[in-house]
Chains A and B, each alone.
Chain A
């Protein structure tokens, strides 16, 4: 069983479109994250949710809207896609006892905006 699963794995779309990426974890973790990995492999946190509440929002444009319907799911919706949004988006989760550092990552969703 995949611990942190994301769908879709690949997404190719046109500028201006709206798209969503879904994430689910079956580890029973309380905290979930979205990270963005750019073309130079640089990883940066975008959002973090703990028990469905937003706790980290790293100056991400408001075109990006995370939604956590329950603590096992954290979806990412992106409006009005731009070329610069092309990246790999990783979902991750962590348990409280790991002090938020031992993150379990999904396989990534590669978004290409044309």
Chain B
């Protein structure tokens, strides 16, 4: 069965620390990969996406993610977090050229302390 798993449910770190959130997927075919962020009380916003090409993808707000096909992974990173990065982060996957049936991971709650 197709699935998306995020390794950490809760992450607490201090400002200026580095962040890495793991995401692994289980899909048989070619996939599109996404990271979405949901700030407290807000809607989901796209952080970054991978369709093809360079496996290192840069997104908004200093985030980047690396697609490693052999590991079925798409981990999210940020070298130095800020308090404003406190949010829920969702990895999402869909099959190439599907109709947007995104499969989301369970989310990782990230809390950045001042």
A99-B97 CB under 8 A given contacts A40-B106, A42-B107: yes
Partner pick for B90 among A4, A43, A101, A108, CB 8 A cutoff: A43
Name the interface size band of chain B: 20 to 34
Complex interface bits, A33-73 against B, C-beta within 8 A gives 1, otherwise 0: 10000001111110010100001101000000000000000
Partner pick for B102 among A40, A50, A101, CB 8 A cutoff: A101
Number of A-B contacts (CB under 8 A): 70
A42-B49 CB under 8 A given contacts A99-B96, A100-B98, A105-B43: no
Q: Does the CB pair A41–B107 fall under 8 Å?
A: yes
Q: In the docked arrangement, what's the CA distance between A101 and B34, Å?
A: 8
Q: In the docked arrangement, what's the CA distance between A100 and B103, Å?
A: 12
- Main SS at interface, chain A: strand
Q: Does the CB pair A107–B43 fall under 8 Å?
A: yes
Interface residue A31 (Cβ < 8 Å from any Cβ of B) = yes
Chain A: interface residue total (CB-CB under 8 A): 27
Q: In the docked arrangement, what's the CA distance between A58 and B44, Å?
A: 21
CB within 8 Å of A: which residues of B?
32, 34, 38, 42-46, 49, 51, 88, 90, 92, 94, 96-102, 104, 106-107, 109
